Structure 1
């Protein structure tokens, strides 16, 4: 059995009968991150791909800007600690949970926390995608979500091109799945020129901000967005596409990145 899931005996009722069976449940694991000897955060996560999670989390919090900012990472997976040493002093992380009123004209910027104000960025990508590519990518994404199919208790996020899924991560925390992708991007120096994000859950403002910090312009989800997420997507130049299922989808923002040959034929 792979780490991240655990077998539990359950009494299952089906067809007017009770049976005892083994069931896979998602593993919930506390991970404490210590940077330069100072405890930064304790998160609850799936205990897989934790190095990528740590790197991505530090980047989204503005503690690092590139993988080379890290001198060393020591993982104590048995006790649930990640010890990180930076090449420089730890930035002042105090008051990062206070509201930040930015000077940008976009109304959504008033909702940023200070760490978001430092690291969120307006995406400059002009990469486009076809409707069929969106539908095909979501189908591929869902067919490869093994841990979700096993447990029904995790979120899934993937980095993809229009041609297919490049890498995928699962976690009980939706933010963690995205941080794992960001960590892998930084560790392997993956080019983001033609990349997009596929996500299994609701498009919330936090999800949208994490995509912006990766500087990726297209976000696909099988679920719905929130109003603040769409305000941020408009402001940060991200194409948010939701409810991708059964041959349908909703393009909520920056629809110029989405094209359809069939639509072009009808318009001509």
Structure 2
């Protein structure tokens, strides 16, 4: 590429993020296409199918193989939820606990998002800083390309698994797929995220069952409305030694006051 810096132009080699379109076929029938980063694809497909409740159990996947040349994920599965295709893109807006015209954009999201049970997990403010720093140190693909989102699943001891993808939700599906394949519970874990907390990300966290999400960036208003409804603690703008706790603050202990 041609780069320009300090009034000097030069030709240099650079690494860029890869986009890959992967079409999922279940029992020979095409379901949907995911645009993603082409690594950990089996985890991505498993995580997507289970988080979207197309399948209910990881055991329902009898065979899964990726044809990277043709961009296909072939899945042989039992107990496929046929309602998924009907609701995949059906818009569905509902009020959030009487707070106005906000809520789920798609009916499938409303059907599959979980309300978290209250406060099974608590972490400290220092844990938030430490986990975010660990995510930053592990983000090698981002450091090379600047073109992916990074996510990590952490427990009190640090990172359990970290994944990167051009799609925010894909990174979470890869983590969920890894946990499903390795029988790792998410209920006592924290999701650490490099990108903003959008409504899409918040709903994905609810679907896979994480009650705390911590981000380097900002949340959106709709994401916070949904977090309030679904019982999810949201922490944003984790930078240096500062952060903001937006919803269900009692899960974060340290030198702060108040609750929501």
How high is the TM-score relative to the length of structure 1? 0.89
1:226-248 deviation per Cα after TM superposition (whole angstroms, max 9, x unaligned): 11100110111100000000200
Q: Cα distance, 1:111 vs. partner?
A: 2.1
Structure 1: stretches of 5+ with no match in the other structure: 1-9
Residue 54 of structure 2 is aligned to residue 60 of structure 1: no
Q: Which residue of 2 aligns with 1:5?
A: none
Q: Which residue of 1 aligns with 2:204?
A: 210
Structure 2 distance, partners of 1:225, 1:203, is: 4
Q: Which residue of 2 aligns with 1:96?
A: 88
Q: 2:151 aligns with which of 151, 154, 157?
A: 157
Q: Secondary structure at the match of 2:164?
A: strand
Residue 42 of structure 2 is aligned to residue 51 of structure 1: yes
Q: Do 2:196 and 2:218's aligned partners in 1 also have CA atoms closer than 8 Å?
A: yes
Q: Secondary structure at the match of 2:14?
A: strand
Structure 2 distance, partners of 1:213, 1:54, is: 15
Structure 1 distance, partners of 2:140, 2:98, is: 39
Q: Cα distance, 1:95 vs. partner?
A: 3.4
Q: Do 2:102 and 2:222's aligned partners in 1 also have CA atoms closer than 8 Å?
A: no
Q: Cα distance, 1:89 vs. partner?
A: 4.5
Q: Which residue of 2 aligns with 1:40?
A: 31
How high is the TM-score relative to the length of structure 2? 0.91
* Number of residue pairs matched by the alignment: 254
Q: Cα distance, 1:163 vs. partner?
A: 2.5
Q: Which residue of 2 aligns with 1:113?
A: 106
Structure 2 distance, partners of 1:89, 1:131, is: 42
Q: How does 1:1-268 map to 2 (within 5 A)?
A: 10-92=1-83, 93-100=85-92, 105=97, 110-124=103-117, 125-260=119-254, 262=255
Task: Tell me the C-alpha RMSD between the 2 structures.
Answer: 1.9
Structure 2: stretches of 5+ with no match in the other structure: none
Structure 1 distance, partners of 2:225, 2:187, is: 24
Structure 1 distance, partners of 2:187, 2:80, is: 32
Change (3 A) 1:140 1:89: closer
Q: Which segment drifts farther, 143-152 or 119-128?
A: 119-128
